[in-house]
C-alpha cells in the first residue's frame, strides 16, 4: 500500500510542516517575505508532507539518482540545503559587517567635523 498507517515520526513531521507553512503565510501577510519566497517555502513544506505520507516517492527518487534508500536521499539533500543556507547567511553577515563599518566610519568623520 502506498499510503500506510502513519508512524509517530511521520505525524511529527507533518505537524511541523503544517506549523512551518502557517508561519510562512503569517510572514507573507506581514510583508516580511516576497511572493517568490512564499512559493519556495510552500513547495518545500508541502513536499515534506507528501514525502511523509507517501514514502514510496522518496524511494523511487532515490533509485533514480543512485542512492540506496529514500531516507538517505532526503538526508543528503537536507545537508546540501543546510550548507547552502549557511553560505547565504554568511554572505549576508559579511555584507552587514561591511555596511556597519562604513556607517561607523562616517559617523566618526561627522563627529570629528563638529
| pTM listed for this prediction | 0.77
Work out the average pLDDT over 55-64: 93
Q: Determine contact, residues 62/68, Cβ cutoff 8 Å.
A: yes
Looking at the predicted structure, is the pLDDT value of residue 4 above 80?
Answer: no
Span 89-102, pLDDT tens digits? 999 999 999 999 99
**DSSP string of 13-70?**
HHHHHHHHHHHHHHHHHTTSS-HHHHHHHHHHHHHHHHHHH-THHHHHHHHHHT-S-H
How does DSSP classify residue 26?
Answer: H
Looking at the predicted structure, is the pLDDT value of residue 114 above 70?
Answer: yes
Q: Determine contact, residues 74/58, Cβ cutoff 8 Å.
A: yes
Greatest extent of the chain over all pairs of C-alpha atoms, in Å: 77
Amino acid at each position: 500500500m502506498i499510503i500506510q498507517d502513519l508512524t509517530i515520526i511521520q505525524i511529527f513531521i507533518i505537524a511541523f510542516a503544517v506549523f512551518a507553512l502557517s508561519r510562512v503565510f503569517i510572514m507573507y501577510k506581514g510583508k516580511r517575505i516576497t511572493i517568490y519566497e512564499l512559493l519556495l517555502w510552500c513547495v518545500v513544506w508541502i513536499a515534506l508532507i507528501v514525502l511523509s505520507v507517501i514514502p514510496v516517492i522518496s524511494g523511487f527518487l532515490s533509485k533514480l539518482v543512485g542512492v540506496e534508500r529514500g531516507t538517505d536521499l532526503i538526508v543528503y539533500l537536507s545537508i546540501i540545503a543546510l550548507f547552502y543556507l549557511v553560505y547565504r547567511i554568511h554572505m549576508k553577515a559579511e555584507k552587514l559587517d561591511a555596511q556597519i563599518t562604513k556607517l561607523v566610519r562616517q559617523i566618526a568623520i561627522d563627529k570629528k567635523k563638529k
